Amino acid sequence: MGLPVPDVIAPAPLSVKRLSMRGYNQAWVIARPFARRLGVPSDASLLTRTIDTAQQSLDLDARRRNVAAAFTVTRDVRAKHVGVVDDVMTSGATLDALARTLKIAGTRRVTNFVALRTPKD
């Protein structure tokens, strides 16, 4: 028996500033074909980053505090299973904050998918 397939796939969102600097969201580039392969919808605007956070030089506790309130859910996700896609997981703080935000909004289940995982210290 395989894992349950999410109802929708959403990329980890970038801040407006970071998105305009980069020109694209790399998590969305991964999420879109992944969702298509699973046969489920993908939604790049389901989650938004309302606070621009820099994580690179922070320890785990600081990272968690930094992103704790950085995200919002833009649609009704009550009783849904949401898959969140991110390109790289370092400490897991961003994915944890996204999952918490989705759970507060009523999501039944959150599954995180990452393309790469940095080594633990």
Domains and CATH numbers, the chain: 8-117 (3.40.50.2020)
Identity (one letter) of the amino acid at 58?
L
Q: What percent of the chain has pLDDT above 70?
A: 87
CA 113/CA 108 separation, integer angstroms: 17
pLDDT of residue 11: 98
Count of alpha carbons within 13 Å of 77, Cβ hemisphere only?
A: 30
pLDDT of residue 51: 79
Q: In this model, does residue 55 exceed pLDDT 60? A: no
User: Which residue, 101, 93, 103, is CA-closest to 114?
Assistant: 93
Q: In this model, does residue 18 exceed pLDDT 80? A: yes
Instruction: List pLDDT tens digits, range 4-17.
Output: 899 999 999 998 88
Instruction: Give the chain's mean pLDDT.
Output: 89
pLDDT band at 1 (very low <50, low <70, confident <90, very high): low
